[in-house]
Each structure stands twice: as C-alpha cells, then as structure tokens.
C-alpha cells in the first residue's frame, strides 16, 4: 500500500500526474450532463436531498406542504443538483484478466488502478460512483454514492478481489441494463473475451435505456504483439485447457483475428455513440486517461 493514500490501487505518483485532470474531467462530465439528468424541475433533479427554509424568490412548487402542516413554517425541498452525475463502473474480474506476460501488471491490476483514479476524480467532483464487478455472475454491486466513506469502502473492496473464474460479459451486461433504472454514465472496463455480437447487443441495451457508455478495452501488450518465438503451450486461464502451438505457424492468423476482433468493437461503438478506448498494460493508465479526456474535450 502507498503511505500517502493508504490504498493499493491509488498511486500518489499517478495522482500528481493527473492533478489538473479533474478540471478537464469536469468538462467531460458537463458534456455528458445534457440529456443525462434532464428533469421537469428547473435546477432540481428527482432525488430528494434535504429541506431548507423558504426565502423570497423560491419557486412555490418546491414547497413541502406536509412540513407546513406539521410546523406552520415554509420549507423548500432540495434535490441533488443536475450537475452531479451518477457513474456506474463495471469491472471484469474473470480469469483472463489475471494474465500478464512480463511479470509486471496483470490486466486486472491495470484496470483496478484505472477504476481507482476514475472513482477518485468523480468523487472529488461530488459525482456519485458505484462499482460492480463480475465474471459469470455479479460478484460485487456497490451503489452509486459520493461520500468519502463510500469511496474508502469501494477502494478496500477493490483490494480484496482476485480474478479467476470464467466470464459471461454479454449476459451480465443485460442483467445490469435491466437493473439500472436511473440514467447514468456506464464505464465498462474489460478485455471483452466473449462473443462480440452478443456483447454489442448488450451495449445497445444500455443505450436503449438512454445511458451514456464509455468502454475501456484492455489487453496485455503480448496479446497484441504476439512476441512468442519458440513452441509453447498456452493455457486458457478460465477453462484451464492447454494447447501447444508453434508461433511461426499461427502468428499471422492470430494477429488478423485480433485486428478484426478490435475493429468489430470499434465500429459498433462508433455506430452506437459509445466512447471506445483500446489500450494495453504497457501504456501508463494515467497517461491513457489524460489523452482520452483531452481528446474528448476537443471541439
């Protein structure tokens, strides 16, 4: 754990490199806000927060008449402001996320760091952040809240996770799309090792329910470059199945399949107005995030 933050996945060095990122991220959030939290109330969202005393100029339609009857005083119902966004981070914890080739960060560790810094930035902006982790089942489902106590609990729960089971990305996303009733920003972080057509249908399910979606598609660098030279036995990290191959015979076919795999997601996301970000664990996650947000803010 880092002494400065006390959280395994929240690095002080990365926070220093993104110290101005929250200002830029605010622009991204505000860009998402229009249409996300539209409400018939002007300046109010639909979620009640607290009461305050009525003052001249307040809109009478926000008066709490029950409070008036009980106390003989005028109180206004206050709601969470529309500029506070609800974010749901969906983190893949299946076995394939535990892969790393060079002995450094696994895909899961990389994604956990990304989850931590995103949660930190959003919480600082008073946005509500929830965390859902999944493999074939939903393993952790923390509601979206904005308090420091909630952030603390989320970071500790994140540190307890060990990836290792099989995955069912598409079915899990459909379940979550049915569960999330209020419109929000969905941040999916995964290697997406499932049938692309099924996953894409599930992403459309979120869009059909008017959620905004950002997809971080994460690989190990070796999965992209296929640097293997000698005959090697590959093990499926989710089924434990082993297969021995000569890289010289399969490299070109593998790379072409991977290219099509990535391009299928990239094209489908563009058509569905989903932000698609492909990266690998050799790219510092804070640099990747800074680059994405800067691009998102370009006119």
pLDDT score, position 37: 37
Q: What is the mean pLDDT of each run of 10 residues along the chain (299 residues)?
A: 65 64 47 38 45 68 78 71 76 94 88 90 85 95 91 92 90 95 92 96 96 95 90 71 83 94 97 95 88 72
CB 95 within 8 A of CB 166: yes
The sign one gets for the Cα dihedral 218, 209, 181, 199 is negative
In this prediction the pTM is 0.77
CA 142/CA 119 separation, integer angstroms:
12
HSE toward the beta carbon, residue 20, CA cutoff 13 A = 2
pLDDT score, position 199: 97
Residues spanned by CATH 3.40.50.410 within the chain? 12-33+83-296
CA 255/CA 250 separation, integer angstroms:
9
Beta strands 86-92; 75-79: pairing state: unpaired
CB 199 within 8 A of CB 169: yes
SS (H, E, C) 217-261: EEECHHHHHCCCCCCEEEECCCCCCEEEECHHHHHHHHHHHHHHH
What's the topology of domain 12-33+83-296?
Rossmann fold (3.40.50)
């Amino acid at each position: 754990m880092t002494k400065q933050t006390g959280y395994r996945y929240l690095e002080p060095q990365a926070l220093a490199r993104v110290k101005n990122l929250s200002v830029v991220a605010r622009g991204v959030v505000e860009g998402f806000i229009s249409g996300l939290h539209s409400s018939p109330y002007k300046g109010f969202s639909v979620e009640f927060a607290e009461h305050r005393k009525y003052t001249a100029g307040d809109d009478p339609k926000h008066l709490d008449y029950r409070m008036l009857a009980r106390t003989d005083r005028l109180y206004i119902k206050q709601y969470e402001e529309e500029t506070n966004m609800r974010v749901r981070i969906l983190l893949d914890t299946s076995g394939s996320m535990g892969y790393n080739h060079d002995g450094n960060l696994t895909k899961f560790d990389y994604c956990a760091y990304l989850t931590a810094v995103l949660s930190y930035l959003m919480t600082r902006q008073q946005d509500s952040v929830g965390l859902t982790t999944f493999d074939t089942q939903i393993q952790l489902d923390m509601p979206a809240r904005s308090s420091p106590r909630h952030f603390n609990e989320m970071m500790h729960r994140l540190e307890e996770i060990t990836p290792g089971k099989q995955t069912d990305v598409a079915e899990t996303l459909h379940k979550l799309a049915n569960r999330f009733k209020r419109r929000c920003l969905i941040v999916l972080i995964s290697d997406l090792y499932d049938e692309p057509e099924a996953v894409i249908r599930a992403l459309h399910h979120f869009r059909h329910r008017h959620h905004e979606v950002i997809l971080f598609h994460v690989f190990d660098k070796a999965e992209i470059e296929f640097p293997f030279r000698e005959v090697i036995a590959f093990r499926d990290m989710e089924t434990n199945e082993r297969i021995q191959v000569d890289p010289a015979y399969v490299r070109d076919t593998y790379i072409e399949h991977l290219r099509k795999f990535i391009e299928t997601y990239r094209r489908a996301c563009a058509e569905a107005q989903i932000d698609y970000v492909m990266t690998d664990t050799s790219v510092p996650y804070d640099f990747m995030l800074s680059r994405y947000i800067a691009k998102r803010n370009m006119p």
